[in-house]
Amino acid sequence: MATTDAGLWCVVPAAGRGARVGSAVPKQYLPIAGKPLLLHTLGRLAAHPCIAGLMVVLAAEDALWPGLHEIAGKPILTATGGAERADSVLAGLRALRGKVEDSQFTLVHDAARPCIHAADISRLIEQGIRAGGALLAAPVRDTLKRADTQGRVAATEPREARWRALTPQLFRCGELIAALESARAAGIAVTDEAMAMEHMGHKPLLVEGSEDTIKVTTSADFALAEFLLARMD
């Protein structure tokens, strides 16, 4: 298929502040094993043979971006993000116009997920192109409780058929732009790309990804990410 022959571009939203880590330096620039988190993520994405280039979305006030133009031989472009993750992803996709046709598939992967397995990316691309759009996800394994306002259990929720949405997510560039624009116009806060596509009536395919595709969210996650990265190829 032409899309995979030419390779796919990946939008990498990296314009957040990392408020839950609570450091003055945004979490994507904090080190893991001596290297900024963001560079781990970009390096692992660029090393994948199906990825043609990376569109890194940075905060307008970002003074820490090292100005990279390529990594592992793959081009890196940058765009300026917005207030919410969805705004940043939309800005990155729009900046790809001219480079990526509307009908071509594009990946979106959180900068905050450095522990991404090449095999998961490969499976997502292979199954996702056939399905017309897909996301990596992991089935919920713990028993789910709904809390009341006192922090007591109000109910036990069924766990069957519940999945945690991960990234990368894979959609046709034009369809995803239209879906994110439509969600924005309707005032719907979408927290991932699939949610925007769902609002347009699409049914993205859930592709099971590795449990260790963690999103580095709190300071404790750095030690876990370092441990996981040391075990990866």
Kindly determine how many residues on this chain lie close enough to bind Mg ion according to the rule CB under 5 A: 1
Report how far Cα 41 is from the mean position of its chain's Cα atoms: 10
- 30 contact partners, CB below 8 Å, separation of at least 6: 18, 21, 23, 36, 37, 222
Enumerate residues 67-86 that contact ligand CTP by CB under 6 A: 81-85
Cβ proximity to Mg ion, 85 vs 117, nearer residue:
85
Interface with ligand CTP, residue 191, by CB under 6 A: no
Question: What is the token pair recorded at 171?
Answer: 């959609």
Is 23 in contact with 30 (CB distance < 8 Å)? yes
Interface with ligand CTP, residue 23, by CB under 6 A: no
Part in contact with Mg ion (CB under 5 A); list of ranges 13-21, 47-55, 110-118, 160-168: 13-21
Least CB distance from residue 20 to Mg ion, whole Å?
8
Interface with ligand CTP, residue 19, by CB under 6 A: yes
The residue ranges of DSSP E strands in the chain, in sequence order, are 8-14, 31-32, 35-36, 51-58, 70-71, 74-80, 105-108, 134-139, 144-147, 153-157, 163-172, 205-208
Cβ proximity to ligand CTP, 113 vs 172, nearer residue:
113
Cβ proximity to ligand CTP, 85 vs 117, nearer residue:
85
Within 65-217, residue ranges assigned H as helices are 85-96, 118-131, 173-186, 193-199
Interface with ligand CTP, residue 24, by CB under 6 A: no
Least CB distance from residue 170 to ligand CTP, whole Å?
17
Cβ proximity to Mg ion, 175 vs 193, nearer residue:
193
Cβ proximity to Mg ion, 16 vs 204, nearer residue:
16
Q: What is the dihedral of CA 112, 114, 118, 123, to 10 degrees?
A: -30
Interface with ligand CTP, residue 111, by CB under 6 A: yes
Specify whether the backbone of 18 is left (phi greater than 0), alpha (psi in -120 to 50) or beta. left
- Say which entry of Mg ion, ligand CTP, none residue 28 contacts (CB below 5 to 8 A, set by partner kind): ligand CTP
Is 12 in contact with 109 (CB distance < 8 Å)? yes
- Say which entry of ligand CTP, Mg ion, none residue 215 contacts (CB below 5 to 8 A, set by partner kind): ligand CTP
Determine the straight-line distance between the first and last CA of the chain, rounded to whole angstroms: 28
Binding site residues, Mg ion, CB under 5 A: 16
Binding site residues, ligand CTP, CB under 6 A: 13-20, 27-28, 57, 81-85, 88, 110-112, 215, 217
